[in-house]
Amino acid sequence: MAEPLHILCLLQDLPDLATSAFGPFVLHPVGHLDEARLLLRHQRLDASLLDLAQVGGAERLWAWEAWSRLCAESAVVVLDGEPGPALCGRLLQKGAADVLPRREARAETLARVLRVATERRRLDLAARQAHGVDLATGLPNRAQLLEHMNHLLALREREPAAMGLIVLRLGGLGGVESRMGQESAQVVRRKAAVRLRAALRASDVVASLGGNEFAVLLAWIDAGDSVGRVAQKLVAALVRPYAVAGQNVVLAVSQGAGQYPAHGKAADVLLSRALAMLEDQGLPVSPGAGRAANDD
């Protein structure tokens, strides 16, 4: 029997997928986005099924701080009343795997779409892992970061030394894209990547986790508070205004961290710990995030 697919469901009514030939499926119903964020922290997901009516609309979905992570860790299928070409295009650009009209959301159709979207995501991840680079920023991607961490952790078993992992999230990037376009948002991501690399040692690694998230691997640290000091330095670098298309754009930044060996001895454990801390912190209040600075 095939491994069951774990599906996050934010819907008014759960579909009956128990007898589908495309299964088996394990459904994880949630009532709102905050509940979805908590589930994402503790449950491995293969796909997510979201109804825009239950979410509160596309703009709210894109502004949700866990949207990028949800798309990175599951194949996201979105339902809407009558999604037009513009909405479908935006959702796909934002990371959704598929968009369906609500009238077509019969159980067997959903089962097929979820299975195909999950398999497509698996193949895409394999291709990205082979490439190893986030094309928008030129940084190593998540798979390459984990591979590098595994090599470094194996070395640490023979030559013990502390190391740290910092995860950073840019708040307001969705607002930049809505106001100024996707290319402007990518320009901000590239500028953020340059700032991160400039603020670190040659031995440290900056990686893209996709969307609005970056990771920084500190190959060695010499004191317990080193990770916190570096994180503050990186946040200070990222919150400075970005000059884009003649405007100064200001973002909010949140961060999470993990340390080896204090918080784990495996790459995925350290990354999960840093992401969980990021979710606990939430996004800092920043009224100007994603908008032009007043002092440009």
pLDDT of residue 109: 93
Domain boundary among 78, 104, 131: 131
259 & 153 share domain? yes
Mean pLDDT for 163-170 is 93
pLDDT at 49 over 60: yes
168 assigned to some structural domain = yes
Domain boundary among 92, 110, 131: 131
20 assigned to some structural domain = yes
Q: Domain containing 223 — which CATH number?
A: 3.30.70.270
* Chain-centroid distance, C-alpha 279: 11
pLDDT of residue 285: 42
137 assigned to some structural domain = no
Summarised one tens digit per residue, pLDDT across range 218-236 is 988 876 668 889 999 999 9
95 & 229 share domain? no
235 assigned to some structural domain = yes
150 assigned to some structural domain = yes
160 & 114 share domain? no
Q: Is 4 left (phi over 0), alpha (psi -120 to 50) or beta?
A: beta
124 & 147 share domain? no
228 & 276 share domain? yes
136 assigned to some structural domain = no
Domain count, the chain: 2
Strand 75-80 relative to strand 213-218: parallel, antiparallel, unpaired?
Answer: unpaired
189 & 271 share domain? yes
C-beta separation of 111 from 17 below 8 A: yes
Summarised one tens digit per residue, pLDDT across range 280-292 is 776 554 444 545 5
* Chain-centroid distance, C-alpha 278: 11
Contact residues for 154 (Cβ-Cβ < 8 A; gap 6+): none
Mean pLDDT for 16-25 is 90
pLDDT of residue 218: 92
161 & 94 share domain? no
254 assigned to some structural domain = yes
204 & 80 share domain? no
- Its domain, for residue 169, covers 142-292
117 & 147 share domain? no
118 & 159 share domain? no
Summarised one tens digit per residue, pLDDT across range 191-219 is 999 999 999 988 899 999 988 899 999 98
pLDDT of residue 136: 77
164 assigned to some structural domain = yes
181 & 127 share domain? no
Domain boundary among 86, 104, 131: 131
Mean pLDDT for 46-61 is 91
CB atoms within 10 A of CB 194: 14
pLDDT of residue 283: 55
Give the C-alpha separation, 133 to 207, whole Å. 9
161 & 239 share domain? yes
Q: Domain containing 23 — which CATH number?
A: 3.40.50.2300
Query: What single letter denotes the amino acid at residue 106?
Result: R
Mean pLDDT for 273-284 is 78
Helix ranges (DSSP H) in the chain? 33-42, 52-55, 58-63, 67-73, 85-94, 107-131, 142-158, 173-180, 182-198, 226-238, 267-281
